[in-house]
Amino acid sequence: MAKILVSSCLLGCKVRYNGSCMRVEDAHFKQLLEPHEIIPFCPEVSAGLPIPRVPAEIKSGEGTHVLQGKAKVVGIDGTDFTDYFYRGAQMALDKCLAEKISLAILTEASPSCGSALIYDGSHKGNKIAGAGVTAALLRENGITVCSQHDADRLLNEI
């Protein structure tokens, strides 16, 4: 049995920017999680952002660029949320290190959790290849990061 960090919204917690969740009803996802210890985590809420909150996207880059100080996380209203997203990513890493977690299943396209896709910063619904801030920091520290769409593949690997 492994410990797996899982985005809280994928488990039905209403922590997204608009107060909704992204509960995954896929049988493979449930089968993947069932035998393991699940550690729910939302980097944005953990860092102190409220529910609901202004939708935010990474502007001029992706998560790695935010960590390097070369990009920012900006709300649709122009608010700079970079510090919250950085703090949430650090809190997720601290949790993984403290709990000896080596796998995180995070919400695709999120500016925190996207593992392969994120929104492009235009707030127009356009997605680009890239990772969110939390996904990037976890990967930089040797933690495997996948999305909810990887359940089929993961079933055969863990």
Give the domain range for residue 82: 3-155
Residue 80 is encoded by which pair of tokens?
A: 């700079």
Query: What is the per-residue pLDDT for 149?
Result: 95
pLDDT digits (tens, 9 = 90+) for 106-120: 999 999 999 999 999
pLDDT digits (tens, 9 = 90+) for 125-147: 999 999 999 999 999 999 999 99
Residue 1 predicted with pLDDT over 90: no
What's the total number of domains in the chain?
Answer: 1
Region 3-8: mean pLDDT is: 98
Residue 158 predicted with pLDDT over 80: no
Helix/strand/coil (H/E/C) assignment for every residue in 79-116 = CECHHHHHHHHHHHHHHHHHHCCCEEEECCECCCCCCC
pLDDT digits (tens, 9 = 90+) for 46-79: 999 999 999 999 999 999 999 999 999 999 999 9
pLDDT digits (tens, 9 = 90+) for 11-39: 999 999 999 999 999 999 999 999 999 99
